[in-house]
Amino acid sequence: MMPRFQPVLTPAGGAVLIIAMAGLIRSLINRNSYEILLSCIALLILLALGIIGVWKSRKLKMLEPGWKPPFPMTASSKFTFSKLTAKNKSQAEIDNTEDTIISGLDGNIPLFFRLHFFVRGRFFPCGITVETKKGSCVFVETSAKRGETSANLQLGFPMSGIFLGDGYCRLCDIFGLFSFSCGIPQHRTINVRCMPCFGKKTPINAQSGAEDQRNKPAADIERYYMREYTPGDRFRDINWKSSDKIDTLITRISTDNQEKISRLEIHFRNFGPTKPSLQDLWLLDRAKARLSYFLRSLMEQNSSYIFDVRTAKGNWEIENNEDLDAFFEELAGISFFPPVHETIFSAGKGDIYVFSTACDFGLHSFLLASNPRPVTLFVMQPSIEKKISKEQKEKQETEVLFLTDFYSKGATARPGWFVPGKTKPLGVNASRVEMFYTHVALSETII
């Protein structure tokens, strides 16, 4: 999206020009020498600033500033949880916005002028779809001080999604009268990852995952080495004789086998309405955060896992941190897909880990189709505080999205976002169920 044509004179500059011309005409009619002098001085200042601005903007025509957004770009907000306690307050107040560095700005700027860098574009919460192609307008700017060649740009987003925008320079005077286009516009497509969440780690039994069938074939003469048993090792590889001698479990590992031996099947059910409300998008964003926390924490605990992540958009196989970071980039742009009817569930072994939202009306049929395999379910629910007791309110930790976060970060909320979401809490039953609650508020004073 290229920046629209902008006149050289700003609204303030146009007003000054009109007032100066009207004053000059009036003074000539009334033959007021003092008013003629003031009007001429104002016009001469405008003329001088205009000539200098045109000359310098032409010299800076090929200026190509360096626009380097932080990687990864992560959503940020002032407040995450509405129920703050002394124990979790440090985790609830989050604002991890990193400044974008704009470098390569020309330091040789004329007196009374500054070089400004503008970013204009659209932000698509939770991905680009046909229904959400309009997105949210974003406009931010920064300026380099005289003699400096770099500046910091505060570009942030309150939730995950994709940002499509252009950055361009303009030479502006310090009085706000002129704005001259200069430099080469730059386009950027930025995947904004979801804001991290915090919670208790989910205990995983390594034997609950399916055994990885991609082990290398053994050589003619198998050679083994021994090490202490760690969670994730197969029970059949334990050397019981050696373990009995030293009173410690010892595992026998083949040098020809790969280290990863357990595959976890994970389903991210991003099914929902084709025209989601902001509440629905916030539910999906928090489901992404729970999935990201689940994968990251397990990868840190035990690197021997292979994650088989299945979504409505496609499947991913995650083996290491590089695969995990690549998946997080893809996850930022995943939006809702129309619901599908679950018919025949693919055969498999081990537990199933499911991340879903209250928008997933096909979740019941999925759970029935996955029977008798154990299912651990993580569901994001909309918070309806009027229908719960005080004791439930104290236990319920609600993640809140404030619309003021959009405006504070240079974005504009669409009018449809002010319409309350119609999604209601979803009742489900699985081997293990964890509920998480979200809410969208107009401002901080509502909570």
**Residue pLDDT, tens place only, 65-79:** 888 888 888 887 654
In terms of pLDDT, which residue wins out, 374 or 342?
374
Task: Tell me the mean pLDDT in the region 199-225.
Answer: 53
What pTM value is reported for the model?
0.76
Contact yes or no for 79/64 (Cβ under 8 A)? no
Asked if the model's pLDDT at residue 144 lies above 80, the reply is: yes
CB atoms within 10 A of CB 40: 14
Domain assignment of residue 382, given as a range: 262-446
- Which of 206, 229, 254 is where one domain is finished? 254
Do 96 and 167 sit in the same domain of this protein?
A: yes
Q: Number of C-alpha atoms within 13 angstroms, CB side, residue 397?
A: 18
Strand partners, 381: 437
Do 75 and 125 sit in the same domain of this protein?
A: yes
Contact yes or no for 386/364 (Cβ under 8 A)? no
pLDDT of amino acid 81: 46
Do 249 and 270 sit in the same domain of this protein?
A: no
Residue 47 lies in a domain: no
**Sign of the alpha-carbon dihedral angle for 442, 443, 444, 446:** negative
Residue in 100, 109, 118 with CA at minimum distance from that of residue 168: 118
Do 269 and 233 sit in the same domain of this protein?
A: no
Residue 1 lies in a domain: no
Do 336 and 440 sit in the same domain of this protein?
A: yes
Q: Number of C-alpha atoms within 13 angstroms, CB side, residue 374?
A: 12
Residue 181 lies in a domain: yes
Contact yes or no for 27/60 (Cβ under 8 A)? no
Residue in 187, 256, 250 with CA at minimum distance from that of residue 216: 256
Do 271 and 416 sit in the same domain of this protein?
A: yes
Asked if the model's pLDDT at residue 39 lies above 50, the reply is: yes
In terms of pLDDT, which residue wins out, 377 or 344?
377
Give the count of domains, the chain.
3
CB atoms within 10 A of CB 410: 21
Do 80 and 123 sit in the same domain of this protein?
A: yes
pLDDT of amino acid 108: 82
Both structure tokens of 51: 């000539």
Q: What is the pLDDT of residues 245-294, one digit of tens each?
A: 777 777 776 554 444 457 889 999 988 888 888 888 899 999 999 999 99
Do 392 and 431 sit in the same domain of this protein?
A: yes
Residue in 59, 57, 27 with CA at minimum distance from that of residue 42: 27
pLDDT of amino acid 403: 78
Residue 237: phi and psi, rounded to 5, are -90, 0
Residue 53 lies in a domain: no
Residue in 420, 432, 348, 346 with CA at minimum distance from that of residue 386: 420
The pLDDT-based confidence of 82 (bands split at 50, 70, 90) is: very low
pLDDT of amino acid 37: 92
* CATH label of the domain that carries residue 69: 2.60.40
Contact yes or no for 101/113 (Cβ under 8 A)? no
Task: Tell me the mean pLDDT in the region 424-443.
Answer: 81
- Which of 201, 225, 254 is where one domain is finished? 254
Which residues lie below 8 Å from residue 255, measured CB to CB, with a gap of 6+? 223, 224, 225
H, E, C per residue of the chain:
CCCCCCCCECHHHHHHHHHHHHHHHHHHHHCCHHHHHHHHHHHHHHHHHHHHHHHHHHHCCCCCCEEECCCCEECCCCECECCCCCCCHHHHECCCCCCEEEECCCCCCCCCEEEEEEEEEEEEECCCCCCCCCCEEEEEEEEECCCCCCEEECCCCCCCEEEEEEEEEEEEECCCCEEEEEEEEEEEEEEEECCCCCCCCCCCCHHHCEECCCCCCCCCCCCEEEEECCCCCCHHHECHHHHHHHCCCEEEEECCCCCCCEEEEEEECCECCCCCCHHHHHHHHHHHHHHHHHHHHHHHHCCCEEEEEEECCCEEEECCHHHHHHHHHHHHCCCCECCCCCCCCCCCCCCEEEEEECCCCCHHHHHHHHCCCCEEEEEEEECCHHHCCHHHHHHCCEEEEECHHHHHCCECCCHHHHCCCCCCCCCCCCCEEEEEEEEEECCHHHC
Strand partners, 439: 400
Report the C-alpha gap between 158 and 404 in whole angstroms.
9
Task: Tell me the mean pLDDT in the region 189-197.
Answer: 88
Q: Residue 269 carries which side chain, given as an amino acid letter?
A: R
Do 314 and 428 sit in the same domain of this protein?
A: yes
Report the C-alpha gap between 9 and 177 in whole angstroms.
6
Task: Tell me the mean pLDDT in the region 229-253.
Answer: 72
Percent of all residues in the chain with a pLDDT value above 70, rounded to a whole number:
74
Residue 40 lies in a domain: no
pLDDT of amino acid 106: 74
pLDDT of amino acid 395: 53
Do 225 and 328 sit in the same domain of this protein?
A: no
In terms of pLDDT, which residue wins out, 152 or 341?
152
Residue in 250, 232, 269, 206 with CA at minimum distance from that of residue 430: 269
Residue 35 lies in a domain: no
Q: What is the pLDDT of residues 315-350, one digit of tens each?
A: 999 988 899 999 999 999 888 888 877 665 556 677
Residue 297 lies in a domain: yes
Look over the chain and give the mean of its residue pLDDT values, rounded to a whole number: 78
Do 442 and 390 sit in the same domain of this protein?
A: yes
Residue 440 lies in a domain: yes
Do 149 and 241 sit in the same domain of this protein?
A: no
pLDDT of amino acid 288: 93
Both structure tokens of 114: 């500054």
* Chain center to CA of 26: 57
